[in-house]
A and B are shown apart, each in its own frame.
Chain A
Amino acid sequence: MLQAYWYITKMRLLTSLAYRFEVFASVGTNLILMLASVFLWKAAYGGGIQQVNTLNLQDLTTYTILSITLSSMFVCGVQDTIYYKIREGQIVTDFYRPIPLFACYLADDLGGMLSALANKVLPLLLFASLFFGIPWPSSAISLLLFIPSCLLSYGILWLLSALVGLIAFWVMELGNMGIVKDSIVRVLSGSIVPLWFFPESVQTVSKFLPFQYTYQTPLGIYIGTVGTKEALAAMGIQAVWIAFLFILLAAGWKRTKTKTLIQGG
């Protein structure tokens, strides 16, 4: 069975590598976004913005570069995959294979992630290093903690995306809910502006939501704002969110299977 998943991952990898224009477009837009963000921070700091949490400009530059790089790597196609497959009725072809659907979609997205690692992350980091210098981590330990935290982040993001995909089984008329979810994630995850710059109240609420544990946690670890002890605690919270979202998805999926309607044909 594992062989099948690996093959799905491999097929996605091959497909992604075949679409060269998509790669150029993605690297191009992300690069522009990266440049704009960094220059914005530069301008803000030049004007004597009040420093938060002793974050300096170098920290924020590193934060921004990595945030955008991560976003190009965290492939969560599952919500769109399900939405379009249901819309076009194509989902039936997944149902008549003796293999769990969501596991296939995960394998597919992991393939997308692997290919992004090669054809998006590398060029982005290379260009960023040329423009702003290499975005070093604050210490070897923070780099070591950053990697597992990223994996946990991806877990949360993917499960959120899968849950949105599940909604598509119920209400086609709502359109692609993924766009709404993506906007919320973008703001509340601190991927554009770290939540440390947000009002106290927003920060408090955000602690009880999964979003800040997707970008801010690993990035904070990387630039050293989050210490080792706090980092481990944050990773614990990430794991709890993963468990919670997984249970939600499993329960939702069980119910969905018995009640849904598949379009057309």
Chain B
Amino acid sequence: MEAVIEVNELVKEYMVAKKESGLRGALKSLLFPEKTKVKGVDGISFSIAPGEIVGYIGPNGAGKSTTIKMLTGILHPTSGSIKVCGISPQADRKAVVRKLGVVFGQRTQLYWDLRLGESFELLRRIYQIDKTTYEENLAVLSDVLKLNEFIDTPVRQLSLGQRMRGDLAAAMLHSPEVLFLDEPTIGLDADAKHAIRDFIKEMNRNRGVTVILTTHDLDDVEQLCSRLVVVNHGKVVEDGPIESLIHKLTPHRLLVVELQHPCDDLSHPAAEIIKRDGLKIWYQFEKQRMTAAELISDLSQKLPIQDLSVKEPDIEDAIREVYKTT
């Protein structure tokens, strides 16, 4: 299948002015600014097929937002190529953004002082959506996002969750093929997060919208994304389905054992004791080498076990592992 987004060897360099501390430093950097070249994005490549929900994640400053900005045509890459729906956003920004819906969680494209519906009306004219399509779309969006409760409220009076729902609707009004979401659940309560995740799933399932999601909320990733692209220091460090990523990055499991009374010989040849706290002991073992049941039966033969639990590594462990090692 033809890829919706094709990114090839993308590089973005920019100059950062070095600021020195103190008044002297401020004067010096005012008169003789010292600039250093920084590679925000350093050779990123990936391609995304229609209908995928891809989590694009990485620590702060990894180059996520810079990539998104280049994908939307806001920034021009230093080198490398981008194709969104077959078009380069740098060559024809307007044609590309017609096919995109974009939401930046920390910004809003809604008009602050006017009622929410007013912003939608403006978008209808900007994207030249005909009246019937617009009304159909709005009806569907209202239904999923429950916009009716606040469509006549000025945007500045909306709660963060309502505003975010408004922004999502605004991004979907023109039936885009691709949706870019940059931290859409930032600062939201559990309910609002839930609503937004449902919305993303719904749009993906019913309209076949391809979604690219950057987030620090790993629950988002776990519940929505089928695939993860992990970046760090401007490079792609992992790219693949979530399960295999977890599997690959965290081959360990934990067994937590609580003893009835202190014992001397706690060791096991295939498991490592990584933590001890009174009568509680944490064993780490590789799931390829032995099963939890084997370890438990070995240990229970020599130790007076009171209680035990097995911990599966989760996405958070996997991600921490990636950030640490790259």
Contact = CB atoms under 8 A, between A and B. Distances in A.
A14 B126 contact: no
A98 B14 CA distance: 26
Interface string B120-137: 011101111000000000
A interface SS class: helix
Interface residues on A, range: 20 to 34
B74 interface: yes
Interface string A251-265: 000000111111001
Contacts of B153: none
A15 B111 contact: yes
A3 B104 contact: no
B74 A99 contact: no
A98 B97 contact: yes
A7 interface: yes
Interface of A: 1, 3-4, 6-8, 11, 14-15, 18, 89-90, 92-93, 95-99, 173, 257-262, 265
A95 B73 contact: yes
B97 A261 contact: no
Contacts of A1: 128
A173 B30 CA distance: 9
B104 A92 contact: yes
Interface in B12-58: 14, 17, 30
A211 B104 CA distance: 41
Given A11-B122, A261-B75, 7 more contacts: A3-B125, A90-B107, A98-B95, A98-B127, A262-B74, A265-B106, A265-B107
Contacts of B123: 97
Interface of B: 14, 17, 30, 65, 69, 72-76, 90, 93-95, 97-98, 100, 102, 104, 106-109, 111, 113-114, 118, 121-123, 125-128, 182
A258 B94 CA distance: 15
A97 B126 contact: yes
B97 A97 contact: yes
Contacts of A258: 76, 90
Given A1-B128, A261-B75, A15 B100 contact: no
Nearest to A16: B113
Contact of B126 (A4, A93, A173, A262): A4
A252 B53 CA distance: 39
B97 A265 contact: no
A261 B66 CA distance: 10
Given A92-B74, A96-B74, A265-B65, A11 B104 contact: no
B157 to A, nearest CB: 13
